[in-house]
Structure formats: C-alpha cells, structure tokens
Amino acid sequence: MATKIQELCCAGRDGIVGTDDDPCTPAHEASIHPKEADVAWYTPDTCTSNPVCAEYVQALALNTCPSTFIESELGRRIFTDWYASYRL
C-alpha cells in the first residue's frame, strides 16, 4: 500500500517517482507487528493537486484497509491531509 501511494501520489511534474521534484516526504515507520517488516512511507505534501492520489487514499482508508490507517501514524497523516483538502 505504501508503495502504491508513492507511485500514485509522488511522481511530481516530470511523472517519474524518485526524482527531486517529487511532492512527498519520505518517512520510516517501525512495524507494530513483530513478524512484519518496517514500512517506508512517502507522505504526499498535499492531495489537493492530485485527484488520483486523493481518490486512492479515500478508497483505501474508508473502504479497503481502514485498519492500516488507524494503526499507522503516517497512514493517519496521509488520510488527514486528504480529509482536510476534501473538506475545503
């Protein structure tokens, strides 16, 4: 899920993920489950400028995987950003 958010939300103006214009902040989160790997999140600086990112975050958080967003501080930040821009 974190990788897909990076792909959909972080490509920047050049359309390529991993370059200097990516509008995301990388962050590392330790897994709360001992047998699972840590997660490398890429938190979008804003979802308002990328409707594909906003729709994906909304669908995941509200329908597909709400537990991930509840359990993860970084997931909650991504959802909060979407929710704040949705409410504007």
Query: For each of the chain's 88 residues, which pLDDT tens digit applies?
Result: 778 888 888 888 888 888 888 888 888 888 777 787 888 888 777 666 677 877 877 787 777 777 776 777 777 777 777 667 665 5
Range of the domain at 19: 2-87
- DSSP per residue, 12-31: TTTT-TTSTT--EEEEEE--
Q: How many independent structural domains does the chain possess? A: 1
SS3 6: helix
pTM for the whole thing? Answer: 0.62
